[in-house]
Amino acid sequence: MKKLILHSALALVLTGAIFAQPSGGPPGEDPCKTERQTYCKDSRPGPETDRCLRDYISKLSETCKNHVNEMISRFEKFRSACAADDEKYCKNVERGPAHMKCMRENESKLSPACKAALPSPPPGGGPRM
C-alpha cells in the first residue's frame, strides 16, 4: 500500500501537478522536455512518463536530473509531514488530483508541519501535462 501511495504521489510530483516549478529555469518551462521527447515519447503523460524518466535517470541532463531529484525530495518531505493527516482526513480518497484536493479542503485542520509541507497549487490551478 505504501508503495502504491509513493508511486501515485511521485507521479504527480514529477509531472508538476502538485509542486511548483523549482528554481533554475523560467516559470512554466519543463526542465525535462527534451528528455520526455527523447526517451518517453511513447509514454502517456503522467505516471507512465514519470516512470520512464526514472528508468532513464542516468541518461538525463543535469538540469532534468536535478529537477527529478528535487521533486522526489519535496514529495518525501510532504509524505513524512502529512502521513497522520492523510490517514485521518483523506485515506479513502483515490491518489492523484482528487487526493490533493482533499488535503487542500482539509487544510485548516492539518497539523502545522503538514500545512508547511503542503505544496502550493500549480499555476493556473490545474495539472500541467
Position 61 scores a pLDDT of 95
Cα(105)–Cα(110) distance, integer angstroms: 10
Taking only the tens place, the pLDDT of each residue in 29-49 is 889 999 999 999 998 887 788
Residues 58 and 65 sit within 8 Å (Cβ to Cβ)? no
Taking only the tens place, the pLDDT of each residue in 79-96 is 899 999 999 999 999 877
Q: Which of 20-24, 43-47, 62-66, 123-127 has the highest mean pLDDT?
A: 62-66
Which residues 6+ apart lie within 8 Å of 25 measured at CB? 31, 63
Residues 119 and 21 sit within 8 Å (Cβ to Cβ)? no
> How do the domains of the chain map onto residue ranges?
37-117
- Tell me the residue type at 31: P
pLDDT over threshold 50, residue 13? no
Residues 8 and 98 sit within 8 Å (Cβ to Cβ)? no
Which pLDDT band, with edges at 50, 70 and 90, does 108 fall under?
very high
Position 25 scores a pLDDT of 53
Which pLDDT band, with edges at 50, 70 and 90, does 26 fall under?
low
Which residues 6+ apart lie within 8 Å of 27 measured at CB? 21, 123
pLDDT over threshold 70, residue 113? yes
pLDDT over threshold 80, residue 68? yes
pLDDT over threshold 50, residue 20? no
Instruction: Report the predicted TM-score, pTM, of the whole model to 2 decimal places.
Output: 0.63
